[in-house]
Amino acid sequence: MALKKDKTLNNGRTKRPVPKFENWFCKIFPKEITYPAWKELSKTATDVANICRAKSDHSAFCKIKGESGRPTFEFTATEAEKVFVIPRPTFSKAITSLIDIGFIEVVLHGGLANGKHISARYQLSERWKTWTPPTRDNTNMTKAREARKAAIEKRRLSNRVDIPEA
């Protein structure tokens, strides 16, 4: 007899309860926060990165590993919506930025395969430690600062009252 949680639904998914995260944790060292990659992330992306770290640690504890021998984990948009109250578009942008910067790597792309929904699988990466932010063109900023200084000087000179000598 199959268990209730193993029952396959019409859309090909299995009915699994939403995981509980009360006793999960993730390790963050103060030195890691000083890297430019952390400063480039949005608030939601840092939250998602911390959740990914906790999920990876939990996968390592449960011995869920990929072909490379490193822990892999699933993190779906539905889970982000229900458990962490992160809207789907925001979650999608956060995951994309984490992949671009190098915090996580996609091990298995999710989607529909043979009518069954497959969740994407990720693993943590260390590429973010060598990531450098894109260079910024500060020429417009420099021009704006010079123009502001000139305007302040002009205003100061126009407000100056000359006192005639007696």
Give tens-digit pLDDT for 5-54: 556 666 555 666 656 666 677 778 888 888 889 888 999 999 999 999 99
Answer yes or no: is pLDDT of 75 > 70: yes
Percent of the chain with pLDDT over 70: 80
Copy the structure tokens of residue 92.
Answer: 């999608």
CATH number (domain holding residue 129): 1.10.10
Q: Which helix H or strand E contains 151, and what residues bound it? A: helix 139-158
DSSP state of 83: H
In a domain, 83, yes or no: yes
| Three-state secondary structure readout of 93-105 | HHHHHHHHHCCEE
Q: What is the pLDDT confidence band of residue 1, given thresholds at 50, 70 and 90? A: very low
- With cut-offs at 50, 70 and 90, classify the pLDDT of residue 166: low
| 34 DSSP 8-state letter | T
Average pLDDT, the chain: 82
Name the nearest CA neighbour of 71 among 33, 96, 41, 105: 105
Q: 113: domain range? A: 12-158
- pLDDT over 90 (residue 105): yes
Residue 3 lies in a domain: no
Count other C-beta atoms under 10 Å from residue 148's C-beta: 10
113 belongs to a structural domain: yes
Domain count, the chain: 1
Confidence at residue 157, expressed as pLDDT on a 0 to 100 scale: 81
Q: What's at 122, amino acid-wise?
A: Y
pTM: 0.68
pLDDT of 110 above 90: no
| Cα radius of gyration (the chain) | 26
**Does 163 fall in a domain?**
no
pLDDT of residue 109: 86
Distance of alpha carbon 16 from alpha carbon 6, whole angstroms: 8
C-alpha 74: how far from its chain's center? 15
In a domain, 99, yes or no: yes
In a domain, residue 145? The reply is yes
* pLDDT tens digit sequence for 131-154: 888 887 777 888 888 999 999 888
